[in-house]
Amino acid sequence: MIKVYINYPHHCVTIHHNMNCNLMNMHPNLETRRFVSINLDNLGGELKRFSSGEFRFASIAGLNGLWLCIDLGDDEFEAQVAAFILRQLSSKYTPFRSITPNIHCYQYSM
């Protein structure tokens, strides 16, 4: 599973592999966080929502960031899904076009 934070005003995307990462809890307004959970059961539907432009971004509270929780059982596939979502957002939001996702933490599993 990975968690991905997409931040519009700061033009950054951060991927977290470690669910205990302290950086994930630094957001000051927990009640305004937007979350999208993606798993094998809803993958197609959620990708359609991103492709259709359902998610809005702006430099105002409530629209400036979005958390993705992607749980597909394969880290590489999850990262590819995150990259696809970023490409979809890039078609509507110019600031996302030049972003390379930052992998903040990685947790190895054997």
Where do the domains of the chain lie?
2-105
Q: What does the pLDDT read at residue 26?
A: 62
pTM equals: 0.85
Q: What does the pLDDT read at residue 29?
A: 54
pLDDT digit string, tens, across residues 48-94: 999 999 999 999 888 989 999 999 999 899 999 999 999 999 999 99
Q: How far apart are the C-alpha atoms of 69 and 72, rounded to whole Å?
A: 10
Q: What does the pLDDT read at residue 110?
A: 36
pLDDT of 33 strictly over 70: yes
- Give the Å distances, CA to CA, from 109 to 1, 30, 49, 53, 87: 11, 29, 31, 35, 28
Segment 17-31 mean pLDDT? 65
